[in-house]
């Protein structure tokens, strides 16, 4: 499962792990400890051939860095990008052929006073 592979890559990367191992799918727990990472599948495309499904997919994921300070969130976002961008290999049993960053956005959540950086990745993998 690609979600397990992404989490595995992030929490086992030396630089990311030095900052945080808190990495959540889709939602953040109530009263979280920062810094943290949030990942969400934005779209899920699958390849097909004349005979049917090829067994390859290329979903788009949004990976978010959250932290109390702008410098902290920038450091975490850089670590995430260094761990994921151009990644190829096998993680948590999933073969990943390509993981490429497509965009990055900085924001501030004024209601909860938290900085957030959102990165979008296209990931080509075997199912």
| In the chain, where the domains are located | 2-44+58-118
Q: What is the pLDDT of residue 119?
A: 98
Residues 90-109 have a mean pLDDT of: 97
What percent of the residues of the chain are helix, what percent strand, and what percent coil, each to the nearest 5? 25, 50, 25
The pTM of this model reads 0.91
Q: Which residues on neighbouring strands pair with residue 68, listed in sequence order? A: none
**DSSP code for 35:** S
1-10, 48-57, 86-95, 99-108: least confidently modelled range: 48-57
Q: What is the pLDDT of residue 55?
A: 65
How far apart are the two ends of the chain, measured CA to CA in Å? 7
Q: How many CB atoms sit inside 10 A of residue 124's CB? A: 17
pLDDT in tens, 39-82: 999 987 765 555 655 567 889 999 999 999 999 999 999 999 99
29-38, 41-50, 79-88: least confidently modelled range: 41-50
* CATH, domain range 2-44+58-118: 3.30.2000
Q: How confident is the model at residue 7 (pLDDT cuts 50, 70, 90)?
A: very high
Q: What is the pLDDT of residue 53?
A: 59
């Amino acid at each position: 499962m690609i979600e397990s592979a992404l989490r595995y890559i992030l929490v086992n990367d030396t630089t990311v792990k030095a900052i945080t191992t808190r990495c959540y799918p889709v939602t953040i727990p109530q009263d979280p400890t920062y810094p943290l990472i949030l990942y969400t599948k934005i779209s899920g495309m699958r390849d097909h051939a004349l005979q049917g499904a090829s067994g390859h997919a290329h979903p788009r994921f949004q990976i978010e860095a959250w932290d109390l300070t702008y410098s902290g969130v920038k450091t975490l976002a850089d670590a995430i990008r260094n761990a994921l961008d151009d990644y190829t290999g096998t993680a948590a049993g999933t073969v990943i052929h390509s993981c490429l960053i497509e965009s990055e956005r900085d924001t501030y959540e004024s209601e909860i006073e938290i900085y957030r950086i959102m990165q979008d990745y296209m990931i080509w993998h075997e199912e």
